[in-house]
Copies of this chain bind each other. A is one copy, B any other.
Amino acid sequence: MRLARFAVFAVLALSARPLMAAGEVTDFTLDNGMQVVVIEDHRAPVVVHMVWYRTGAADEPPGKSGIAHFLEHLMFKGTDERAAGELSKVVEANGGSDNAFTSYDYTAYFQRVAADRLALMMEMEADRMRDLALAPDDVATERSVILEERATRTDSEPGALFREELDAALYRNHPYGVPVIGWKGEMEGLTRDDALAFYRQFYAPNNAILIVAGDVLPDEVRALAEAQYGRLVPSEGIGPRARPQEPPSRAARRIVLEDARVAQPSLMRSYLAPAREPGDQGTAAALAYLARLLGGDAATSVLGRALQFDSQLAVHTSAGYSATSLDDTTFSVVVVPAEGVSLAEAEAALDAQLATFLKTGPDPVAFERLRMQIRAAEIYALDDVGEIADRYGRALTTGLSIGDVQAWPEALQAVTIDDVLTAARAVLDKRASVTGWLLPEGGEGVL
């Protein structure tokens, strides 16, 4: 009851409210090519300072997998001016926190501190953008750290190994088939020279985006950014990002991973799917609906109702789509069969549901409900400056513009049932898919 009343309240409230950000967004570019986005949020005297680089694991040279992430770790070592680890200590001493993350298309560094510490953050971040100094011992130590990270998060997790194999099978030519953490054999061979070569190639003001979100004014950020980042000389070798693309998808693929550590068999199918394109986000928006319609809420989604509630063949179903990606991305569905149900039976049920969906399309009532949910989610998201900062960072490092970010909520609202069906028929093509079975050793997985 409480949930239902809350939903009504939300819908009423939303109808009266325009689609706009809680914080004002301002953007400009420094003379050296560094793009700057300022997101104002004066509710608390805090600021998030982020530098996003337009480079990630998919920009690594062949045979050097993991170097983008390894360099991210090494960026916390010293510079010409500061000792190893000093940056994080200064952040902490100023009551703040800092971290970084690496993905296929971007690498980002951020600190959250009191707003009056912004200049200090910029000074330190600008320093390590150009003057990283790597002691050989630090490199060796940190290589052990990333190897341990791989051992813990991938090699000891059958589910992670499974997703690694699915990606490797889906992407035959594109580097999205290589794990961000790296293949272990290649990680072991990564050197200081490899890290510095990657750093020199990609870390430059004209390959970076500064995002400042919080209790700041755009003019203030501009003055600080010009003083700290504006003095950095741009690099000449920053070209357009062109990775090897996927050849036509002709053959359906499947993988079977048997692992003694698997307690619960599951199946996952990944399809190659288009991402948001600059000025053309309609297909991606439709695929965002498709994922929710197929595998969103268990009680109302197509797979949840059919496989979990009606037939009770599954204990879990879901669907996922990563809309923001420089190159073709992944649409995936997951089914975890119930006790006593084989993966083959679960897959047959999945295929039957997908086939029915492609014929009949979504239920109009469910579709309209989802449109309203997405509208609500978009509006709530705009209240979270961290989320807004993240959206700009991911979009701007994957080829999208400020305008694309701002048009995305409207693109989502403009999706029709026909758009979803057209996108579904194009993407849910087995020839562009990998179906994976993850199960204990000696199960039904013999290929």
The tally of residues in A whose CB lies under 8 Å from a CB in B reads: 42
Determine whether A320 belongs to the interface, using a CB cutoff of 8 Å to chain B.
no
A410 to chain B: which residues have CB within 8 Å? none
Most buried by B among A169, A175, A447: A447
- Partner among B62, B177, B247, B253 whose Cβ is within 8 Å of the Cβ of A184: B247
Residues 60 to 94 of chain A near chain B (Cβ within 8 Å): 62-63, 65
A252 to chain B: which residues have CB within 8 Å? 255-257, 445, 447
A244 contacts B165, C-beta separation under 8 Å: no
Q: How far is the CA of A316 from the CA of B259 in the complex (A)?
A: 35
Interface residues of A (CB under 8 A from B): 62-63, 65, 161-162, 165, 168-169, 172-173, 175, 177-178, 183-186, 242-245, 247-248, 250-259, 351, 430-431, 433, 435-436, 445-447
A151 to chain B, nearest CB (A): 13
A447 contacts B254, C-beta separation under 8 Å: yes
Closest to A171 in B: B172
Contact of A62 with B169 at beta-carbon distance under 8 Å, contacts A252-B447, A256-B252 already known: no
Contact of A186 with B254 at beta-carbon distance under 8 Å, contacts A172-B169, A435-B447 already known: no
Closest to A166 in B: B251
Contact of A183 with B173 at beta-carbon distance under 8 Å, contacts A254-B254, A430-B447, A447-B254 already known: yes
- Partner among B175, B245, B430, B436 whose Cβ is within 8 Å of the Cβ of A251: B436
Would you give 11 A-B contacts (Cβ < 8 Å), ordered by A? A63-B243, A65-B173, A168-B247, A169-B253, A183-B247, A184-B248, A250-B259, A252-B445, A253-B253, A430-B447, A433-B447
- Partner among B62, B168, B242, B255 whose Cβ is within 8 Å of the Cβ of A175: B62
A60 to chain B, nearest CB (A): 10
A172 contacts B162, C-beta separation under 8 Å: no
A282 to chain B, nearest CB (A): 24
- Partner among B63, B243, B436 whose Cβ is within 8 Å of the Cβ of A244: B63
